[in-house]
Structure 1
Amino acid sequence: MMKQIITLSIILFLFKNSGAQDLQAAYPPLTVKGTSIYLPGKQLDLNTDGFPAMIQTSFKLVTEPIHFHIPRLTNHKDIKFKSTPLEISKGRPDKASWIVKNTSDSLDMEVSGSLNLHGKMIYVVKITALNNIDLENIRLHIPFTPEAAKYIRGLNQKGDERDPVIDWKWDAAGKDQAKVWVGNITGGLLYTLEDNQHKTAPISWSNGDKGGIHIEQKGKAILADNYSGEHRMKKGDVLYYNFSMSITASQKTK
């Protein structure tokens, strides 16, 4: 009986390792160099705050780093953060992860990110109030290159080609989900706004019916302005502005 158990354990061990080797053979491992992560046909450069500075496939997807704007209600000026050093860890060949703590005199913003071999990024963004504070708005800006923003799917759009101006609001009943693909015939970026409770209408992003997404050209970029309206935070309050992004092949209807 003991010999059978040992034999079975060896078989399971060999099968597990064989599967891992097959996965690594099918998908070459991620490569990390400094603050850049490379995977087949894709490249992600990270900014000091932990958010994407550049996303590259056969073309650039963004004109500048993806970033948050968090202005005070009193003076309409963005809160300035200081960031801890960015370090990318690669505990597995198919995934890289990082954590950056951005601090100010009034808010902490902890950013936890990861990227897998399929080009999916997952971000957990935890904002903590260090004292009572009123925020005018919290916005996530994704500045797409015009080349990367010819088509759009989601946000109640009827066709494939992106309209010059898109205005979308969270449904008050929580029926809608902010899931949108922006790209061209060779690929693009699929992103979803989320929270830590996995609700259809994330509390921080939807903020009742104050939040939404506005997309139009601003300067050289097709800017996706993901906004949430005013927040009045008390000391110790926490808001989660989580989101996920996938670097994808085309989702345009043929």
Structure 2
Amino acid sequence: MERLCCFKVGYSQSSSSAGKGKSCQGSNKVTYGFSLVKGKASHPMEDYHVAKFAVLKGRELGLFAIFDGHLGDSVPSYLQKHLFANILKEEEFWSHPDRAITKAYDKTDKAILSHSPDLGRGGSTAVTAILIDGTKLWVANVGDSRAVLAKGQQVIQMTVDHEPSTERGSIETRGGFVSNMPGDVPRVNGQLAVSRAFGDKSLKSHLRSDPDIRAQDIDSEAELLILASDGLWKVVNNEEAVDIARKCKDAQTAARQLTTVAVDRDSKDDISCIVVRFRS
């Protein structure tokens, strides 16, 4: 996901990375793999991720996220360090995870904006997934990074793509406008190709940063979860992504294969992907 601008921001981030891991509790181990590949744009890598398991109050949490930055990597880097910590600090996390996630997203965005101009000038999408004790999945997103769940015969999109064309009314109510100029992609005030994002101080009065949230029970039918930035979803649809992941021997191979397919299909954006397998 990109935002048009007339200046560049310098940063350091490796052009690609990959890895894997697994849960430590429960008889059925949950495994994950991730793959991040720098896009063809001239700016350095702007995608960040989180993929790990942690134990809190005797409960095991799987924490997974993709943060797709624009105008630099400062906002996605901040989200990588702080967003999950802010969610887990909310008193309502265990009783009402959805409320905790909403509050933490808001507090995190306000913290980013308070660091302006150095931090809040840029922005980022976010898709986060929290797996609680391997049985309950909570997914939230801001922007167009997406999560897709394969469960039984279903391919379920767990997120909402927040695009200017679909949220035009909200943008205009806030005093902004949607334009396809320059280029052929609808953008907020002709600049930003998503209608919700963290940061983006100069556009914030016209943007939202509240997440869409969805929960799913993870039972014997749940097979895998894919989180990815739009560098994948621009060239691979939900069903294709699930089919590709299913054919791979493990989660890391699946994540690598998905980013490889996106590159082969000439995706020019940064491409980041996490695959979580609920069954070995």
Task: Establish whether TM, by shorter chain, passes 0.5.
Answer: no
- Structure-1-length-normalised TM-score: 0.31
- TM-score, structure 2 normalization: 0.28
Larger Rg: 1
Structure with greater strand share of residues: 1
